[in-house]
């Protein structure tokens, strides 16, 4: 066997140590490179996942529309034309002058609940209207505007008409001729002729020819003279 020299032995040892170091260093570099590559890949993946998308413009518009389209609360009120019509109707009823249905002397006044002796019946009773003397066939007029609510022939009062004059006021026209000029449901104005003075009221036939005229307000008999012309008394 060939014997190695001392120089060769030292060189081999030196090279052996350096080779080991080189090999280890290469391994570290390889591991480091792989780690860096993996790190870069991971960061790139995270960045891609963190990309924030732009909001959908259509969805934003819809959201705005929902907010803007919310209906506002409204208060239901009576329209001005309706209010004005009602006020005008009330004003007409109040301002149209009341008139006596016939022109003549009051021969039997309103008794205001007191008992008076009936010339025809010979008994004491209230007189809930006024008797206005007039010629047979004289025209009888509506005292004011209103609506005819009843037309009939009464066995005691003869041919009768009731007119609703508004505001709770009713006009009662009794003792007319058979030729009554209105029917139930008719609308009239003040001074419209509704019939003629007759002699059909058997309960008051003993007196002169006249119209028995009564006025009710809210269901209570009141004095027609005072209602039509309160300044007279």
Instruction: Report if pTM > 0.85.
Output: no
Residues of the chain by 3-state class (helix, strand, coil), percent to 5: 35, 25, 40
Question: How many beta carbons lie within 10 A of that of residue 10, not counting itself?
Answer: 10
Residues 6+ apart with CB under 8 A from 208: 107, 133
93 or 227: which leads in pLDDT: 227
Query: For the segment 121-132, what is each residue's pLDDT rounded down to a tens digit?
Result: 999 999 999 999
Question: Three-state SS for 105?
Answer: coil
Domain coordinates in residue numbering, the chain: 1-45, 99-232
Q: Average pLDDT of the chain?
A: 77
What is the spatial distance between Cα 191 and Cα 53, in angstroms, rounded to a whole number?
A: 87
Name the most confidently modeled range: 4-18, 80-94, 118-132. 118-132
Cβ neighbors of 145 (< 8 A, separation 6 or more) are 92, 93, 96, 165, 166, 187, 188, 189, 190
Task: Mean pLDDT check: name the lowest of 94-98, 135-139, 209-213.
Answer: 94-98
The mean pLDDT of 208-219, rounded to a whole number, is 97
The three-class DSSP label of residue 188 is strand
pLDDT of residue 197: 98
Phi first, then psi: what are they for 168, rounded to 5°?
A: 80, 10
**Looking at domain 99-232, which CATH architecture does it have?**
Distorted Sandwich (2.70)
pLDDT attached to residue 97: 87
Distance of CA 173 to the CA centre of its chain: 38
Q: Average of pLDDT values for 199-216? A: 96
Average pLDDT over residues 137-145: 98
């Amino acid at each position: 066997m060939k014997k190695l020299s001392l120089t060769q032995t030292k060189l081999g040892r030196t090279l052996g140590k350096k080779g080991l170091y080189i090999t280890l260093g290469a391994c570290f570099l390889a591991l480091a490179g792989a780690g860096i590559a993996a790190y870069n890949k991971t960061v790139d993946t995270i960045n891609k996942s963190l990309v924030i998308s732009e909001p959908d413009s259509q969805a934003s518009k819809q959201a705005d529309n929902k907010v803007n389209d919310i209906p506002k609360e409204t208060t239901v009120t009576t329209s001005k034309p309706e209010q004005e019509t009602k006020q005008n109707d009330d004003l007409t009823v109040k301002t149209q002058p009341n008139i006596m249905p016939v022109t003549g002397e009051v021969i039997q006044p309103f008794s205001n609940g007191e008992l008076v002796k009936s010339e025809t019946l010979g008994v004491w009773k209230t007189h809930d209207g006024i008797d206005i003397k007039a010629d047979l066939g004289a025209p009888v007029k509506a005292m004011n505007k209103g609506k005819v609510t009843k037309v009939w022939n009464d066995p005691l009062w003869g041919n009768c008409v009731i007119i609703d004059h508004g505001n709770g006021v009713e006009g009662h026209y009794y003792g007319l001729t058979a030729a009554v000029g209105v029917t139930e449901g008719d609308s009239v104005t003040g001074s419209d002729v509704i019939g003629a003075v007759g002699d059909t009221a058997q309960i008051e036939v003993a007196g002169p020819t006249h119209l028995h005229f009564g006025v009710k307000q809210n269901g209570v008999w009141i004095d027609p003279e005072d209602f039509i012309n309160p300044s007279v008394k």
